[in-house]
């Protein structure tokens, strides 16, 4: 059932778990996330990156909303990393009211003004806003941030930011990166604990692909209620396509799409179990 993102995050806080937000690009991705969530009886978020939104437009948003509505599991549909008013407007017009306002590349006061503006607009539609403070290194779709430009979230600034913008969830930068980690991930848990002590809204961790069970557990203990997973699901999709095309130059298309759904579904299901969400639907 289509459920507001903030309701899902508050359910997660009450239940001591976190919800996975899985980036989807097309019907196969949507089918994989819904099937995994239903098999695991665990809530999940269908997440669209602005690149996917621009490619798929209103039909893609409507497909995600319909899939969430038709599921017996609580699901929401969320727009990831948006810095453009045009993308946000397109999403809102299509009925998607859960938005990440990403002003993390802006100067602090500009981020506050941008995020506050988006929050007022989205709240007027009863929606949910996630925003980011600090800056994540790594690559996601069309955006690459080199490591030397990454910035960790400052706990005091986080408290001021939440106060001034009225956001519903805060994405933190504590050493997490977009894409693939080079070497073992190193997360700054004392920083996460300090952030959690100063603000009382749910926290979000991007770049959850490749984090160990221990890191996931500690993140949840310090207030993370949403993990974003993109890389591993995308890799499962591409590997499945490559394997099937390697087997035969002209495979049956429906069967290729089915294999891709199965490959993504198994990654999503393993994350739902890892995040402690199984059985919480
Ligand atoms: Zn992200």
State the pairing for strand pair 75-82/98-101: parallel
Ligand 1 centroid, distance to 246 Cα (angstroms): 32
pLDDT tens digit string along 39-96? 999 999 999 999 999 999 999 999 999 999 999 999 999 999 999 999 999 999 999 9
Task: Report, as residue numbers or ranges, the catalytic residues.
Answer: 80
pLDDT tens digit string along 172-189? 999 998 988 888 889 999
Q: Backbone phi, then psi, for 208, in 5-degree steps?
A: -85, -5
- Which architecture does CATH list for 5-274? Alpha-Beta Barrel (3.20)
The confidence score (pLDDT) of residue 201 equals 98
Q: What is the mean pLDDT of residues 213-231?
A: 96
Contact 17, 223 (CB under 8 A): no
Ligand 1 centroid, distance to 100 Cα (angstroms): 9
Q: Where are the domains of the chain?
A: 5-274
The confidence score (pLDDT) of residue 99 equals 98
The confidence score (pLDDT) of residue 149 equals 64
Q: Which residues are CB-contacts of 84 (< 8 A; sequence separation ≥ 6)?
A: 50
Half-sphere exposure of 161 (CA within 13 A, CB side): 32
Q: Which residues are CB-contacts of 103 (< 8 A; sequence separation ≥ 6)?
A: 83, 110, 111, 112, 114, 115, 131, 132
The confidence score (pLDDT) of residue 249 equals 84
Q: For residue 148, what pLDDT band results from cuts at 50, 70 and 90?
A: low
Ligand 1 centroid, distance to 258 Cα (angstroms): 27
Ligand 1 centroid, distance to 247 Cα (angstroms): 34
Percent of the chain at pLDDT above 70? 99
Place of tokens 């396509």: 241
Distance, CA of 49 to CA of 78 (rounded, Å): 9
Ligand 1 centroid, distance to 51 Cα (angstroms): 13
Q: 0.85 cut: is pTM over it?
A: yes
- Per the prediction, the chain carries an average pLDDT of 95
Ligand 1 centroid, distance to 178 Cα (angstroms): 6
pLDDT at 168 over 80: yes
Distance, CA of 266 to CA of 241 (rounded, Å): 15
State the first-to-last Cα distance of the chain, in angstroms, to the nearest integer.
10
State the pairing for strand pair 137-140/143-145: antiparallel
pLDDT at 209 over 70: yes
């Amino acid at each position: 059932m289509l459920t507001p993102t903030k309701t899902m995050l508050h359910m997660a806080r009450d239940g001591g778990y976190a919800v996975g937000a899985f980036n989807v690009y097309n019907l196969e991705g949507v089918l994989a996330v819904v099937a995994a969530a239903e098999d695991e009886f665990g809530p999940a978020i269908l997440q669209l990156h602005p690149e996917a939104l621009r490619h798929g437009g209103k039909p893609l948003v409507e497909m995600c909303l319909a899939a969430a509505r038709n599921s017996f599991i609580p699901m929401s549909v969320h727009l990831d990393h948006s810095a453009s008013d045009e993308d946000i407007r397109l999403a809102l017009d299509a009925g998607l009211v859960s938005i990440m306002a990403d002003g993390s590349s802006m100067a602090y006061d500009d981020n506050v003004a941008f995020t506050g503006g988006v929050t007022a607009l989205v709240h007027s539609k009863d929606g949910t806003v996630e925003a980011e403070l600090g800056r994540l290194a790594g690559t996601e779709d069309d955006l690459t941030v080199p490591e030397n430009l990454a910035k960790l979230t400052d706990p005091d600034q986080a408290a001021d930011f939440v106060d001034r913008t009225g956001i519903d969830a805060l994405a933190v930068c504590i050493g997490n990166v977009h894409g693939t980690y080079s070497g073992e991930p190193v997360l700054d848990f004392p920083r996460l604990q300090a952030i959690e002590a100063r603000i009382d809204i749910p926290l979000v961790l991007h770049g959850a692909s490749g984090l160990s069970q221990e890191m996931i557990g500690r993140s949840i203990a310090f207030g993370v209620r949403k993990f974003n997973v993109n890389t591993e699901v995308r890799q499962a999709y591409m590997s499945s396509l490559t394997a099937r095309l390697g087997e035969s130059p002209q495979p049956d298309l429906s069967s290729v799409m089915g294999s891709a759904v199965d490959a993504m579904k198994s990654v999503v299901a393993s994350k739902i179990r890892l995040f402690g969400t199984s059985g919480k639907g």
